[in-house]
Structure 1
Amino acid sequence: MSRFGRFLFGRRARRRWVHLILGGALAMPYVFVGQLVVGPATDSRYVFNDLPLQLLSFTVGLPLATLTAVLFPLTRSLEAGAVRSLCGVDASLLAYGPARTRAAKGRTAAWFTLHLGVGGIISGMSLAVPPFAGFLIALPLIVWLGGAGTVELPASLDQPWVPALAPVAGVAALLALAGCAAVSGLLLARWAPALLGPTPEDRLAAAEARAADLAVRNRLARELHDSVGHALSAVTLQASAARRVLDTDPEFVREALAAIEDTTRRTVGELDAVLGVLRVDDAPGTAPAPTLAADLGGLLRRTRAAGLRVTARVDTDPEALPPVLSREAYRIVQEGLSNALKHAGDRTSVALRIEAVDEHLEITVENPLSHASPCRPGGGHGLRGIADRARLLGGTTQAGAAGGTWRLAVRLPMNCP
């Protein structure tokens, strides 16, 4: 019994009833337009006082509501918002934007017409039934206080038992009204996803937007890992080496501190460039991203200051590389050297080769595994970032141990935009 009561008068049922009444309110302008058509057509001056003519006006006005939904794409957004708020429909099942395609406009028009049609009927019942039901419920009291002649009933109902049963009929009318509203609201809630749900085009646009957002987030993560992660690794090794020789080699300590200062200053500029990903492209005041042509020398100098013995061989002109390729190649080299710092330790020899072979830029980083330290928990993001950068440029990546040497080989096409 309580479940039946919640179905008729629960919070969700009441909110759906309000949604239907709003549909009736939206239908009123179309009914008025229909009356302007029906009145002259039927030669009637008082359409509002004639129930059949009112229903006819309502029927004439509904096609105008259909036309409105077709002509104004934002109708879908407004209706979907009302359904989300009042009908208890999951927001993921409804479209967010206006109807753009012909199919979406047709479904929106069908929903709008249905909402206003059913809402108009329920609204009319909500206006007429409660006063009538109240009269029936109060009829025995009226007759008892005023006498049998107080209320004139039709001859067929002029019986002594009619006032006694009138309250039952009044309560039944109210329950019937609530039942009609609850059932209508439930049906509209079930039909809403089919008529106001996203079309395949909407789903595709949403998927593209999510993919673009994910691409920006992944790019930001790669940039932060490669720039800030490399700097922190270098600074950690420099500070550790300086601490060990603090009392025996002051000159090395000064060099290490100078390298730490240079690394942190440089990283602040790179961090500003990374955060530029979150701003509008080419925003004023955003530091340019480092490139192989302009920043390879500084990267090698800072890495060597951290204690890594780097042998670099560059057999191509970095100035001739496309900007995108130069920027991504710098990040790949930076991450390769950073991996050597973290996993091979300082005082380790690293061989770096950058060369152009068959219209491809090949980057190779090799270091011995004799002093390799175990991977830290959660590691491996650097190699994944390198693979992502290479894949976005149409290149390939190979990384692994062979013969006591760790080798990272990246091959990138030279014809990048």
Structure 2
Amino acid sequence: MNFHDNIQELNPLKASNPTEKFIADLIFDKFYNSDGTSHIIREYTFDSLLSTHFFTLRDDNRFHDESSITTKEVKKVFQNLIKNHFDEESVFSFFSSLEGFINVNWYRENQNILDSIPSGFKIMTDSTFSIKLTKGNDQLLDWFRQPEFIMFKKKANSYIGSGDFALKDLNEDISAVLRRMKAQCCYIEQIEISFIKNKDLVLKEFIDGSLNLITYDTKQRDQYSNVIEKILNSKYPSYQFSEIDNRAIRYAEINNVQDSICLESILRSIDVNKDTMRDSSDFAISPTDAAKNINQDSIYKIPIVELTKNQDKEYFTSTSNVNYLRTKLEKLYPTDPHIVIREESGDSFLNNYGNNSIIEAKKLFKNNDSDPVYILDVFPNYVIYHNDLKGIDNGQTLGEMVKTIFYKTPKTY
């Protein structure tokens, strides 16, 4: 397979580009997976009388250097998090909820001692530890599912994981090789990654069979995308495709618009999804009544800030009622009516705003008492692959995909 971005950082907590995140997902185990399973924790109990959580580590999982995963390594992970990643939301929430945090925080702020762990964390044996919180007992496992809580050890300048694959070769800007470490985890024994920048060459390598699969971001519009679109439209039956779980969401925050007529005027001017019914039950008057009361002589001046890259589409068109003014975020008055266009991953969007049904509806909605948000575009990403590959389902991440994929006819390289 091919990634455009090179590997610049092997620290899993600093993985930033798609290549680094993909590799970190395969090399390192999280404390808990999103489905509640764990390759690190064998047993978990909560003693309500003691108000204490007890954890037992698995004894059938080891680091790639064959060393054991012990509670001392858990402590080192926690020390690294509280020292270097304390500002991350899940990290702050966890440590600030631990018993004894007040004392530790005093040393952080006054003595610059940053790696002390609150007394609520205790090592009991090499394989068991306990956690006592002052708040958030029902949130602990959710925090441990977050990407910051990853098991790894640092040895010299290397980061050693316990995941299904290990990085066996890294050739600067050319290639990387991941090799399977656990016989029962998946079918694929080795993953070879190239870092080809030229899209035409990537497509040629794929058609020639040198690459077994490629990814396609639907925001791209070029000659490369024209060929991929033909594959998506089944013009080339030798290939298949599946949507992968990292689509991008482009949306508009409609801030401080208290006037229902103004809001309806804005919605009518959006040059997207005009055939989609909007749910206006949150507003004081219905769209029909608003339309009757719109004063054609009145003009609402609404600043717009676009915080997206390579946006090639205008979503808001000035009308007789609304005049849009492009500006920069720093020039806004925070309390004035304005619109901010943002773009982020589907996972990040859902964490902030709701569930998948909201994305599928592509409509206006309100999150509790917040300002309205309108989904402008959903950009799915696809993986394109040859017909001899099987086991790929829609909605998987790339990391999940390589663990289920197999060849209809076994291949060796």
Question: Whose relative contact order is higher, 1 or 2, with alpha carbons under 8 Å and at least 6 apart?
Answer: 2
User: Which has the larger share of strand?
Assistant: 2
Taking structure 2 as the reference length, the TM-score comes to 0.18
Taking structure 1 as the reference length, the TM-score comes to 0.18
